[in-house]
Amino acid sequence: MQYTVGMERILIADDVQTTIEALRLALRRDGFEAVSVSSGAEVLRLCSAAAPENLPALVLLEPALPDKDGYEICKEIRAFSDLPVIIMSARDDVAAKVLALAFGADDYITKPFDTREVMARIKAVLRRVRVQNNQKQNQKIIEHDKLVIDMNRYEAKLNGKVCELPPKEIELLFHLASNPNRVFTRDQLLDDVWGFEYYGDSRTIDVHIKRLRTKLEGVSGKWFLKTVWGVGYKFELIE
């Protein structure tokens, strides 16, 4: 398979040739390279086994592929990658859209579609991904009063001294402290911190929060790990 250097690559996963050709034309017109496959196995191969420079920037995924369910494909991609996925489906019911998002899709487009809408959705998702990637690169170290979390070293310091925290506790604290005053549900925290590594009870979040509170107790009066009853948790900054 030949690739064009310097162009963002969009992977089209569909088995309807008219759909593929319409998308190819629209993508090329807007400066993207289009690559198409018709099986779930090929989607997973190109998203995981390809050389990094050949990975697609985004996947347009038809869920009704001949060999594999598209929602399961999306779930498998999420197990190893943040690669953006847009589901393209003839189903226009809320349940299908909710299922797609629950399995990790970034957006959902109903067929038949106008290719102008598809291009607008692709560009919006890619813009969001670029912003998120820049934030991740720039936010490897978070500092609050008497607290420093350095994800380059997987290290948390309280009052200048290293606090021994297991990796998941550091990741959970970093995630909350990176989004001060934002409330997260338990399921959101499982998705954001554990991803698809964890399939158990969301109450595991309660256990990790309890352990963190014990270790962080009394460090500062300017921030707290706060329970928002009936919803979840937040890292609360006191103005």
| CATH code for residues 9-137 | 3.40.50.2300
Is 160:204 a contact under the CB 8 Å cutoff?
no
Is 172:187 a contact under the CB 8 Å cutoff?
no
The pLDDT tens digits of the residues spanning 118-147 come to 999 999 888 887 776 666 556 688 899 999
Give the pTM: 0.58
- For 195, left (φ over 0), alpha (ψ -120 to 50), or beta? left
Evaluate the CA torsion angle 99, 103, 109, 111 in order and state its sign.
negative
Name the CA radius of gyration of the chain, rounded: 21
The pLDDT tens digits of the residues spanning 63-80 come to 999 998 889 999 888 888
Domain chopping of the chain, boundaries: 9-137, 140-237
Least confident piece of the model among 25-34, 73-82, 91-100, 186-195: 186-195
- The class that CATH gives domain 140-237 is mainly alpha
